[in-house]
Structure formats: structure tokens, C-alpha cells
Amino acid sequence: MYGLNGRKAIVTGGAHGIGRAIAARLVAEGCEVGIFDLDRAAAQATADALSAQGGRVVVAAGDVSSREDVAAGIGALKEALGPIDILVNNAGICKVGKLLETSEAEWKATFGINVDGLFHVTRQIAPGMVERRRGTIVNIASWMGKSGVAAYGAYCASKFAVVSLTQSLALEIGEYGIRVNAVAPGLIVETKMRDESEIQRAAEGLPTAKDRAKTIPLRRAGLPSDIAKTVAFLASDEADYITGETISVTGGIWND
């Protein structure tokens, strides 16, 4: 355990998959957690389940790509929780498809959530951290944010942006004691995004997650809990000399 008792955290996209696992791990570490998610019902179900285990979890619903939704929703979470110590920018979408066949609407939706969403939420939280001279931000990138992959052009571009924004913000606010890092998941299963991606991959004639897992050095796909463990570490004082990094959690896929 990483000694996060009493800290206040916000997780975007915390209703499902990786976000839910992160919220659960932070609750287990002693955090009070706010979930911001477009799916209010699923977010509340996650909050109820974690609260039943003794944690305090509050929910706000909204679209991270909407500046107005973020201002209202994150504002409500800050009012409920108080000053935020940990921000996890997890909300994201993935569209499979060749770049030349990607529609403008798909491109804008991908960047709206994966990049603009991070920008909107961070601008709501980071100034308070700077003022208090404490806090940590963990962004969820992707191994595809380090290496281009065919049929994932828009997604790769958006996650490259997450990596560069992580580095830039770390340089800008490090002097105030704020650490900013990212986690780059590899092939993660048991998530809503993975289920949707598998359908899209099948339509493109691409290999399944099960087949791809055979090529991973550790010979298995990752789980949401693998990402949650890394987030908890980066949010803790055990990582207090780590900033501006993007940590790959891929089972050994090399792409640096």
C-alpha cells in the first residue's frame, strides 16, 4: 500500500474498465474519490459498489470534451471533496480505422475527448494544486502514444499529444512541487473500450486480442488492475522524484 489515506482524488471516465479499477485502487489506498463520467448510471453503480466497501465516492456526470460540462461537474466534485490532491485523466475513446478512411467527425471526437478533455479538466484542477504547492496528475496515454500503429491513426495522434502535454505540464509546474506523469497501457482486456475495439478490429480483418496476447513477452494481455497499480504508485510519495515520465505497462511490448 502507498499511504494515500485522506487524500482526495478525481478520476475521469471512472465508471468502467481502467477508470473503475483506478477508482477502486485509490479507495483501497484510503482516498476519497470523485468520478466524472458521461455515463451517470454506471458511475453511480461504481460509486455505490465502492462505498459499500467502506470508501467515500462521489459522482458528477458530463462530457470531458465540453468545457461547460467540465466546469460544472468538476466544480461539484471539488465542492463535495475539498482540495484535490490527485487527478487521473483517464477518459478516452478509441476508433479503429485507416487514417484516410477516418471521418472528420471521428477525428474531432477522438481529440475532443482524449486531448481537449484532458486540457479542460486539468485547467480546473491544476491551479489549486499550484496554489497549495502540492498534488500529482496522472494521465492515461497508450503504448500507441509512443509508436504509430496502422488502423489507429487518430487514436495514436491523440495519445502522442497526451504524452507531450504530460511532459510540457511537468516542466511548467514542477517548481511548485506538482508532479505530472502518464501511464501507457498496452493490450488491456476486460474493458468496454476493448470490447468495442474488438468488434471494430474484426470488421477491419485484424487479429483478435487473444491472438495478439501470444506475441507479448509476458504471454498475457493486461488487466485494468495492472494499470491501477501503476497509477497508485505514481500518485504516491514513493514516486516523489518522478515527473514528466510516461510509464509503459505493456507486458514487454517495446516501443520507446
Q: With helix as H, strand as E and coil as C, how does 69-97 read?
A: HHHHHHHHHHHHHCCCCEEEECCCCCCCE
What pLDDT sits at residue 145?
Answer: 94
Burial string for 109-138 (b: 16+ CB within 10 Å, else e) reads ebbbbbbbbbbbbbebbbebbbeeeebbbb
Residue 117 is part of a domain; what is its CATH number?
Answer: 3.40.50.720
Verify whether residue 2 is a known catalytic residue: no
**253 is a domain residue:** no
The residue ranges of the chain whose pLDDT is under 70 are: 195, 197-198, 202-204, 254-256
**216 is a domain residue:** no
Separation between Cα atoms, residue 57 and residue 55, nearest integer Å: 6
| Catalytically annotated residue among 152, 155, 176, 241 | 152
What pLDDT sits at residue 118?
Answer: 98
Residue in the structure block whose three cell numbers are 504547492: 133
Cα angle 205, 150, 104 (rounded to 5 degrees) comes to 95
**193 is a domain residue:** no
What pLDDT sits at residue 255?
Answer: 60
Nearest Cα neighbor of 94 from 208, 198, 23, 193 is 193
Task: Report how many domains make up the chain.
Answer: 1
What pLDDT sits at residue 254?
Answer: 66
Chain centre to alpha carbon of residue 108: 19
Q: Is 250 helix (H, G, I), strand (E, B) or coil?
A: coil
**204 is a domain residue:** no
Tell me what the pLDDT averaged over the chain comes to.
94
Put simply, whether the predicted model's pTM sits higher than 0.75 gets the answer: yes
What pLDDT sits at residue 214?
Answer: 87
Phi, psi of 188 (to 5 degrees): -110, 130
**3 is a domain residue:** no
Chain centre to alpha carbon of residue 90: 2
What pLDDT sits at residue 208?
Answer: 74
**205 is a domain residue:** no
The range of the structural domain enclosing residue 52 comes to 8-186+224-248
Cell digits for 95?
476508433
**167 is a domain residue:** yes
What are the strands, taking DSSP E only, across 145-198? Answer: 179-185
* Residue 198 · residue 188 · CB < 8 Å: no
* Residue 167 · residue 155 · CB < 8 Å: no
What pLDDT sits at residue 57?
Answer: 98
**138 is a domain residue:** yes
The pLDDT tens digits of the residues spanning 57-99 come to 999 999 999 999 999 999 999 999 999 999 999 999 998 889 9
